[in-house]
Structure 1
């Protein structure tokens, strides 16, 4: 099976956030879609190990914002490659809060939706949350597709993401290094000793070899 076929499915990138009893977190996903127009409902798929997903299950609410092409990859690194259990995701960055106190980022986003969970489904390693949209707002910019993120931004995919493919048996392994902070992929067998990630500015000690 050619897993690259899944890359042809059109999707964007989204920042999902939630809060519960003073705890808050956010994560980057590419698995948001509208499921009905009346009532307006969105569905999002999140890894069961995600702290953000845990807060959604507890609070029954989430914010979904759409990433623009101009979003800083440092934000993707923070929300996509770090755990909310170890990092205060919203500390030190400009964010707003909705009427329920859930934080969301406006800069680098093209739209936001506040959703109240109406149902969920266990799909193995992940959980699908369906939420009724109670607020929707347009912002500025052009939305970023997942293909643009990989082809132009050169971003990587976290191992807990629904779209993470890993290495398939029988397929030639990609040679290179992935930044553990922001997911940037350096293509090549040898990593220069003075390498600095062009996205998050971390050194070679933060790079890990791609499985091969």
Structure 2
């Protein structure tokens, strides 16, 4: 199992924090690197959550979530939402998104979604969300590869030579 995990870790991913709000006022959030687009028409995304995650019941019950794509300087948020804490949102700047879902400040992109479907994914639940609202900002992404955070190195732009 460890060697499979190492092989899968060779695929570099971005890092996101998925958040939700419950009708009784609770909030939940979790760090994921299993986020991807599914369709543009209709606009669908998916992400996966371990069935053993303490927040799994909250996400299954909520019916709505936000995917917050982290910027390179937000490793602290990734670590915070990956750690079991009594209140992962304490001291974290948020604002309410559509449907009251908490959206994190300063992220590269934010997608507020209605849960369109959930599927059995072995030891995970696969969430498919229909995007209801999105925003994006400029910046470099937080990247995860081979079990650790990595620096993103955008390609250098080639300068056209005059008279070459």
TM bin (shorter chain):
0.7 to 0.9
Aligned length: 148
Q: Deviations over 1:120-174 (max 9, x none)?
A: 1112221001010111100231112212971547xxxxxxxxxxxxxxxxxxxxx
What displacement does 1:102 show?
1.2
Q: Which residue in the other structure is 1:22 paired with?
A: 25
2:63 to 30, 38, 60: 60
In the alignment, does 2:81 pair up with 1:79?
A: yes
Q: Which residue in the other structure is 1:150 paired with?
A: 148
Coordinate RMSD, CA, aligned: 2.0
Structure 2 residue runs of 5 or longer lacking an equivalent are 152-164
Q: Deviations over 1:28-87 (max 9, x none)?
A: 01001111111110011001122433222112110001111111x33222201225xxx1
Q: Which residue in the other structure is 1:139 paired with?
A: 137
> How far apart, in 2, do the equivalents of 1:150 and 1:51 lie?
23
Conservation of the 8 A alpha-carbon contact between 2:101 and 2:112:
no
Which structure: greater strand fraction? Answer: 2
TM-score with structure 1 setting the length: 0.64
> How far apart, in 1, do the equivalents of 2:27 and 2:46 lie?
20
Alignment of 1:110-129 (within 5 A): 110-129=108-127
TM-score with structure 2 setting the length: 0.81
Q: Which residue in the other structure is 2:155 paired with?
A: none
Conservation of the 8 A alpha-carbon contact between 2:142 and 2:150:
no
Q: Which residue in the other structure is 1:197 paired with?
A: none
Structure 1 residue runs of 5 or longer lacking an equivalent are 154-212
Alignment of 1:159-178 (within 5 A): none
Alignment of 1:182-193 (within 5 A): none
Q: Which residue in the other structure is 1:204 paired with?
A: none
Q: Deviations over 1:92-141 (max 9, x none)?
A: 2211111311112122x200000111111112221001010111100231
If asked which structure has higher relative contact order (CA below 8 Å, sep 6+), I would say: 2
